[in-house]
Structure 1
Amino acid sequence: MVVSIVLELGELVKRFWLLMCVVGTVVPYAVFVPWLLENGLNVPSLIQQASTPIAAFAWLDVVISAILMLVLSARQIARGSKKHWLVVACTCTVGVSLGLPLYLYLGDADSAQLVAPEGHT
């Protein structure tokens, strides 16, 4: 009974991570794509957007988080996980808003395979 409840909660959490992968892709791109269409790939203008202290704070937070995601993924890849290359690609192309929930999803999927009783994987 307890194992069944834990497995059901685990499935719910895994679905939540997948939902957050979608949200973490759609929401940032819903803001970025219109800006890109209006300004083109104007890197100086993009850098200028970070000229206020609060914007610099947000950018630095994201950059540091992305570096951490890449290091965590590199550790998993060094341990033999081939699927964590997807986290690297997603973090570099979309950002931490996709990379983090994907990393958590992959971790939950791996741990579920380790603890699930036979017939529940």
Structure 2
Amino acid sequence: MRHIFLGLAIWGAIHPMYYFLTWFRAEGWSLGDMVQAWHVNAASSGLVWDLTIAATALSLWIIAEVIRNRRFFHLIAIAATFCIGVSCGLPLYLYLRSTPEGETRSREGQE
């Protein structure tokens, strides 16, 4: 399962980013204009709010587990969620979470 989660995280980073970059190249590099485009109609606004709520729930789950397990590197999944999307952040966190505890601890100690 770990490899599947990693593959989904990579796919979830590349596929949406292709569309974001295509939009930015065509429309200009304004984040405000992109957010405005996301709310062009009720259907797209619904998707934006759906993903915002999912990203918030995922972030709270990650924070709660980081506090409990002291795996601070896992916070990178929050950055991936809000910089790329839930399609990258969720499978990335599941991949990181599925790493055996001893392996994660030894890698965190080296950083």
Structure 1 position 49, deviation (Å): 3.5
CA contact (8 A) 2:66 2:75 kept: yes
- TM-score, normalised to structure 1, is 0.74
Percent identity over the alignment is 24
Aligned: 1:33 with 2:8: no
Matched to 1:83, the amino acid is F
Task: Decide whether aligned partners of structure 1 residues 17 and 93 sit closer, same or farther in structure 2, where only a CA change above 3 A counts.
Answer: same
Structure 1 position 112, deviation (Å): 9.4
Q: Deviations over 1:83-104 (max 9, x none)?
A: 2111111112111111100111
- TM-score, normalised to structure 2, is 0.80
Structure with greater Cα Rg: 1
C-alpha RMSD of the superposition:
1.9
What count of residue pairs does the alignment treat as equivalent?
101
Q: Which has the higher contact order (CA 8 A, sep 6+)?
A: 2
Moved over 3 A (4+): 110-113
Return 5+ residue gaps in structure 1 as ranges.
1-12, 114-121
**Rounded Cα–Cα distance in structure 1 between residues aligned with 2:33 and 2:39:** 10
Structure 1 position 45, deviation (Å): 5.2
